[in-house]
Amino acid sequence: MSDRTQPETTVTVRCTGHVREAVGQHELTFTFTGTRLREFLESFFDAYDVEEMLIAETEADATAHGWAPVPDDLPGTWRKNPKANRPGVDLRSHVSPTLGNVSRHY
């Protein structure tokens, strides 16, 4: 077994909506042990009680509820993606390619 210490990573987190209210600020710097998204999320969820706001476990949770009324007659063809093309669990976040910024989108 290796005694190698995990590096610390610092990211900028930008929150919106209910997550912003729960965290108490729009933007914060967050440091966690590790370099992977999973390690960030575990640490962030330990620090802030927002996991249920970000992880959709059911199709109903993953479905966005619009803020504008849907017209009765939509133009074109509208249908849901085939089940194979839909994620089973949805994380509502955006990660920059360098893991420098993680922000919630809803």
Q: Which domains does the chain have, with CATH numbers?
A: 8-63+80-104 (3.10.20)
Distance CA(31)–CA(100), nearest Å, equals 11
Note the Cα 89 to chain centre separation in Å: 11
Nearest Cα to 32, choosing from 19, 45, 22?
45
Out of 5-14, 49-58, 66-75, 90-99, least confident range: 90-99
State whether residue 5 is helix, strand or coil. Answer: coil
Task: Kindly report, residue by residue over 15-69, the tens digit of the pLDDT.
Answer: 888 889 999 999 999 999 999 888 998 999 999 998 888 777 777 766 667 767 7
